[in-house]
Amino acid sequence: MTLPHLISINDLSTSEMESIFVLAQAYLEELGDVQSPSRIGRSTEACRGAIMATLFYEPSTRTRLSFESAMIRLGGSVISSADPRASSAVKGESLADTVRIVSGYADLIALRHPREGAAKLAAEYASVPVINGGDGAHEHPTQTLCDLFTIRREKGALSGLNVAVLGDLQGGRTVHSLVYALARFGATITTAPAGGLSLPESVDWRLRNEFACERLSGNDLGVGTPVGATYRPRGQTTGNRPNVDVLYLTRFQKERASQEIREYPRVNRELLSTPGLRNALVMHPLPRVKELDIALDVDPRAAYFRQASYGVPIRMALVAHILEHSSAQASTSGGHLSVAQQSDFVCANPNCISRDIVEAQTAPPKFVVVAPRRLRCFYCEHDTPAR
Peptide bond into 372 cis (omega under 30): no
Side-chain half-sphere CA neighbours of 115 within 13 A: 21
Distance between CA atoms of residues 92 and 87, nearest Å? 10
Catalytic residue list contains 112: yes
**Of 112, 120, 251, 315, which one is the catalytic site residue?**
112
**Of 63, 144, 174, 230, which one is the catalytic site residue?**
63
Distance between CA atoms of residues 56 and 370, nearest Å? 31
**Of 39, 62, 208, 256, which one is the catalytic site residue?**
62
**Of 73, 113, 115, 140, which one is the catalytic site residue?**
140
Catalytic residue list contains 63: yes
**Of 91, 262, 373, 387, which one is the catalytic site residue?**
91
**DSSP string covering 210-246:** TS-EEEEEPPP-SSSS---EEEEETT----SSPPPSE
Question: Do 269 and 170 touch, CB atoms closer than 8 A?
Answer: no
Residue 384 contacts by C-beta under 8 Å, 6 or more apart in sequence? 347, 348, 367, 374, 375, 376, 377
Residue 387 contacts by C-beta under 8 Å, 6 or more apart in sequence? 345
Distance between CA atoms of residues 104 and 121, nearest Å? 17
> Alpha carbon of 116 to those of 40, 154, 171, 374: distances in Å?
32, 32, 11, 19
Q: What size, in residues, is the chain?
A: 387
- Helices 201-209 and 173-184 meet at what angle, rounded to 10? 10
b/e per residue, 354-378, with b = 16+ CB within 10 A?
bbbebbeebbebbbbebeeebbbbb
**Beta strand extents in the chain (DSSP E only):** 32-33, 36-40, 51-56, 77-81, 108-113, 130-135, 162-167, 188-193, 213-217, 229-233, 246-249, 281-283, 339-341, 366-371, 374-377, 383-385
Distance between CA atoms of residues 274 and 276, nearest Å? 6
Catalytic residue list contains 91: yes
| Enzyme catalytic residues | 62-63, 91, 112, 140
